[in-house]
Structure 1
Amino acid sequence: MKSQEAIKIFEDKKVRTLWDENEEKWYISIVDVIEILVDSKDFQTARKYWNKLKQRLKEEGNETVTNCHQLKLKASDGKLRFTDVADTEQLFRLIQSIPSPKAEPFKLWLAKVGKERLDEMSDPELSIDRALKQYLELGYSQNWINQRLKSIEIRKELTDEWKRVGVKEGQEFATLTDIITKTWADKTTKEYKILKGLKKENLRDNMTNTELILNMLAEASTKDISEAVNPKDFNESYDVAIQGGNVAKVAKEELEAKTGKKVVTNKNAKNLLENK
């Protein structure tokens, strides 16, 4: 199954989703949905609710629960863990078993999410417009959003280049990303997130403008160098990643020398939005 993980937003709540390109459908984390519908602030409470509901529905012979399966989604600790998921049709049926005032608005949102993806497949610019709208709704500045959207484009160009030279998605992508980040920021992705007090939040969504720009420089440089030297395997791509990261490292160190301020800080989205 060729799939792409994404985070969707419902009333400021994050819902983990996975798009299956072969089946052309979304698979959505059931626990995330239940956390919203029962208005729980605690993930563990939502998980216990789902376990009890799942057991009851199984005892009733509910086919929807029987047909649900598990996929690996990123957990709050950043690791990929098997998670109960359902497609939109299955979720519509499950929602009927959960008494909640948010059931109807969530159904409307769910239908909209499915339609948006199909529309985006025929017109990719729509995905950019949707991302712009979501960031504006969350309170980010227009200047930051412009940088973030550009960073998405540059990241895509880099991963396309990695695919071209035979780097494998998943662990190898993650390893090269880590070495780029470690080289320019002197921190792995995990260390960077710890500095900013993040768990399941997206690191780039919590970078300052300057951090985003330097990360883009590192990834764009890695892509350009890779195209120039045409690495033959993962090990050669690893060396290229270090070279790309070094371009941004030099720029970072020169900026810090001029300003007397550290570029990589513990500022995250909460700080940034409060101090806009």
Structure 2
Amino acid sequence: MDKDNALVVFQGKDIRRTWFNEEWWFVAVDIIAILTESTNPSGYLKDMRRRDEGFAQGWGQIATPLSIETKGGIQNLNCVSTKGAFRLVQSIPSPKVESFKLWLAQVGYERIQEIENPELAQDRAKEYYELKGYPKEWIDKRIRGINIRQKLTDEWKKRGIQEQRDYAILTNEISQATFGVPIKEHKQIKGLDPKFKNQNLRDHMTDLELVFSMLGEQLTTEVTRKKDAQGFPKNAEAAKEGGAVAGRARVDTEQSLGIKVVSGENYLDTPKKKITKK
């Protein structure tokens, strides 16, 4: 599932989190602030790393800088996965640690529920986008796109595609053939920063871009099945072919309507109820 930034509450306190690599990542200093009641959680974290050599050496594996919305705009903040959060709290002397661990387990359980019940995942995704201020028509397309994407990745899994890197390459092949630009350039056109790994391009697409994104992936699924593509090279060929068919439809649309489908419009200013132009 694709999600952007969100707040989650622990004992009445907000913890910022973001969806990255198919799991929730939590802002490390928010966890520290709640468990320690420190007025300077960043300084507390520095002291932790200074006191605990093992913790300091493993920090690069525990935390990952991700883009988070702050009062001063989007910033790169150190975030931890559920596993990383458990490691983080081991180094914090606080009576709240055990209740926090239980809370983390509940958050993880909700994700398991979503995996077992895709409809629940869709409901939560819809609620998420509603809270972010996206229009209903856009949300309907986005949820439909998530379903189409899931069917495509299911096909890839059955056909020997396992590595995340391969998924990314195949996705880029479809996107480039569909839109005429690679994903990285598409992000730049929209004013998104490629170094922010969790800025999801699809969350900033216009309705028309979402339609063609869905078309490219649906056609790729059909080509993959028809040709019974097996292994990465054959699936890459199917991705290019499916994307190319969608790309021709895009070109026809642009010529007929006199517009460009790839747009600089984005939703960086959500939860406002309008799309902003770059």
Report the counterpart of residue 100 of structure 1 in structure 2. none
Q: Which runs of 5+ in 1 are unaligned?
A: 20-25, 40-44, 77-81, 98-102
- In 2 relative to 1, CA 123–148 (structure 1 residues): closer, same or farther, beyond 3 Å? same
**Cα distance in 2 for residues equivalent to 1:158 and 1:246:** 16
Report the counterpart of residue 28 of structure 2 in structure 1. 33
Report the counterpart of residue 268 of structure 1 in structure 2. 266
Report the counterpart of residue 255 of structure 2 in structure 1. 257
Report the counterpart of residue 187 of structure 1 in structure 2. 181
Q: Deviations over 1:37-93 (max 9, x none)?
A: 669xxxxx987763433323x27x9xx9899882696855xxxxx976553655666
**Cα distance in 2 for residues equivalent to 1:250 and 1:46:** 53
**Cα distance in 1 for residues equivalent to 2:166 and 2:25:** 25
Deviation at 1:186, TM superposition (A): 1.1
- In 2 relative to 1, CA 95–263 (structure 1 residues): closer, same or farther, beyond 3 Å? farther
Report the counterpart of residue 162 of structure 1 in structure 2. 156
The one-letter code matched in structure 1 to 2:189 is L
**Cα distance in 1 for residues equivalent to 2:178 and 2:21:** 31
Deviation at 1:162, TM superposition (A): 1.2
Report the counterpart of residue 23 of structure 1 in structure 2. none
- In 2 relative to 1, CA 15–164 (structure 1 residues): closer, same or farther, beyond 3 Å? same
Equivalent residue runs for 1:1-276 within 5 Å: 9-10=6-7, 13-16=16-19, 28-29=25-26, 32-34=27-29, 50-56=45-51, 58=52, 70=61, 75=66, 85-87=81-83, 89-90=86-87, 110=104, 113-199=107-193, 200=196, 201-270=199-268, 273=272, 275=274
Deviation at 1:253, TM superposition (A): 1.1
Q: Is the 8 A contact 2:82 2:108 kept in 1?
A: no
TM-score by length of 1: 0.72
**Cα distance in 2 for residues equivalent to 1:131 and 1:227:** 28
Q: Is the 8 A contact 2:25 2:79 kept in 1?
A: no
SS at match of 1:70: helix
RMSD over aligned Cα atoms: 4.0
Deviation at 1:254, TM superposition (A): 1.3
**What percentage of aligned pairs have identical amino acids?**
32
**Cα distance in 2 for residues equivalent to 1:116 and 1:74:** 24
Q: Is the 8 A contact 1:147 1:209 kept in 2?
A: yes
**Cα distance in 1 for residues equivalent to 2:15 and 2:264:** 23
**Cα distance in 2 for residues equivalent to 1:250 and 1:123:** 36
Q: Which runs of 5+ in 2 are unaligned?
A: 8-13, 35-39, 68-77
Q: Deviations over 1:175-206 (max 9, x none)?
A: 11111111111111111111111133100101
SS at match of 1:132: helix
Q: Deviations over 1:78-132 (max 9, x none)?
A: xxxx9765536556666766xxxxx9xx999756523422433443321111111
- In 2 relative to 1, CA 158–144 (structure 1 residues): closer, same or farther, beyond 3 Å? same
Q: Is the 8 A contact 1:157 1:223 kept in 2?
A: yes
Report the counterpart of residue 37 of structure 2 in structure 1. none
How many correspondences in the alignment? 247
The one-letter code matched in structure 2 to 1:70 is Q
**Cα distance in 1 for residues equivalent to 2:190 and 2:149:** 21
Report the counterpart of residue 79 of structure 1 in structure 2. none
**Cα distance in 2 for residues equivalent to 1:192 and 1:246:** 17
